[in-house]
Amino acid sequence: MKAVVVVQLGGLNNLQIVERPDPTPGDHEVLVRWHATSLNYHDYLVAIGAIPVPEGRIPMSDGAGEILSVGKEVNNWKAGDKVMSMFFPGWVEGAPAFRKIVGVSGETIDGYITEMSCVPESGVTRIPEGYTYAEAATLPCAGLTAWNGLMHSGGLVAGQKVLIEGTGGMSLMGLQFAKAAGAKIYATTSSSEKAERLMALGCEAVVNYKEDERWGKTIFKKSGGIDLTLDVGGGSTMGQSIEASKIGGTIISIGILGNGRKGSITFPKLFFKFINMKGIAVGSRVMQEDMINAIETNSIKPNVDKSFSFDQLADAFKYQESGQHFGKIVLEW
């Protein structure tokens, strides 16, 4: 079988296609033929060496494909079932714990830009009815992060005001989840063209953060204060997320886009707005199953911006670097 691996740290040119023996499932494993993956910022950090991984690691935390065979102790899956991966294959249910999240797909364990691999039977879920492999591959990281942030950790209820930052895959899935839950959506973006597309998806208002450095205050004025924010930028956006929040609002921190690994905030704003702040990382298998049920009930589909082939991973990351995309970038084979 073929797989893409990181052969050295430090750049997109160090992604290499290699041949490996076809795997055989253990007693409690399933053998999956993968057909699609999608790009996340986490995968980009692995690819460029910002997140160190062992030599020969298979990157990419999302995967969708079909089961080819199952181990002799597997009863819940059969050959031909269509499945998608989990970011944390060991986190089945309950609260996060080190033993559940130590295995990170595409980082501490192999990811899914490979023709085949064996995974634990609990490390995959079904894909939503009517989804293509490419569409399903957008969900395990970005989709589940949005679902957890809004519905599980954020406790979103109808009528609340939600701030969605940017137009990446997580943001657009979050927009759709929030809309289906009856929320009023406010958003930020970097261009007038993307702003128009966001308004067409049902936003109350959109602010261009490149033209308005104080976009948090602008959103506060337009909304009267945001109930729930999905903060995607970490240090680069958190100060403005606080500005946008209402008194008693909630901010779910889910990313570090751009230069957001470190930053500063004005703490009195945090105190005197009585803001609830929580950091999350993706979610559990139970959350993923709940998300699938909601997707099917509300006929939600991801926005796939552009598709690349198996041997174009570096090109796909370069397109991601350009910031042109609106939604998810996928690879199909």
pLDDT in tens, 140-167: 999 999 999 999 999 999 999 999 999 9
Structure tokens belonging to residue 270: 């945090």
Q: According to the model, what pLDDT value does residue 257 have?
A: 84
Q: According to the model, what pLDDT value does residue 78 have?
A: 98
Q: According to the model, what pLDDT value does residue 262 have?
A: 86
Residues belonging to the chain: 333
SS (H, E, C) the chain: CEEEEECCCCCHHHEEEEECCCCCCCCCEEEEEEEEEECCHHHHHHHCCCCCCCCCECCCCCCEEEEEEECCCCCCCCCCCEEEECCCCCCCCCCCCHHHHCCCECCCECCCCECEEEEEHHHEEECCCCCCHHHHCCHHHHHHHHHHHHHHCCCCCCCCEEEEECCEHHHHHHHHHHHHCCCEEEEEECCHHHHHHHHHCCCCEEEECCCCCCHHHHHHHHHCCEEEEEECCHHHCHHHHHHHEEEEEEEEECCCCCCCCCCCCCHHHHHHCCCEEEECCCCCHHHHHHHHHHHHHHCCCCCEEEEEEHHHHHHHHHHHHHCCCCEEEEEEC
pLDDT at 10 over 80: no
For CATH 3.90.180.10, the residue range(s) in the chain are: 2-141+283-332
Is domain 2-141+283-332 given the CATH code 2.30.42.10 in the classification? no
* Alpha-carbon span 328 to 323, nearest angstrom: 11
Average pLDDT in the 3-15 region?
89
Q: According to the model, what pLDDT value does residue 136 have?
A: 98
% of the chain exceeding 90 in pLDDT? 93
Q: According to the model, what pLDDT value does residue 263 have?
A: 83
Give the residue from 39, 101, 81, 36 showing the smallest Cα distance to 63. Answer: 36
pLDDT at 258 over 80: no
Q: How confident is the model at residue 29 (pLDDT cuts 50, 70, 90)?
A: very high
pLDDT at 9 over 80: no
| Averaged pLDDT score across all residues of the chain | 96
Q: How confident is the model at residue 69 (pLDDT cuts 50, 70, 90)?
A: very high
* Alpha-carbon span 206 to 190, nearest angstrom: 10
Kindly report the pTM of this predicted structure.
Answer: 0.96
pLDDT at 259 over 90: no
Q: How confident is the model at residue 238 (pLDDT cuts 50, 70, 90)?
A: very high
* Alpha-carbon span 142 to 304, nearest angstrom: 12
pLDDT at 66 over 90: yes
For CATH 3.40.50.720, the residue range(s) in the chain are: 154-279
pLDDT at 25 over 80: yes
Question: Residue 279 in contact with residue 253, Cβ under 8 Å?
Answer: yes
154-279: which CATH architecture? 3-Layer(aba) Sandwich (3.40)
pLDDT at 170 over 90: yes
Q: How many CB atoms lie within 10 A of CB 261?
A: 12
% of the chain exceeding 70 in pLDDT? 100
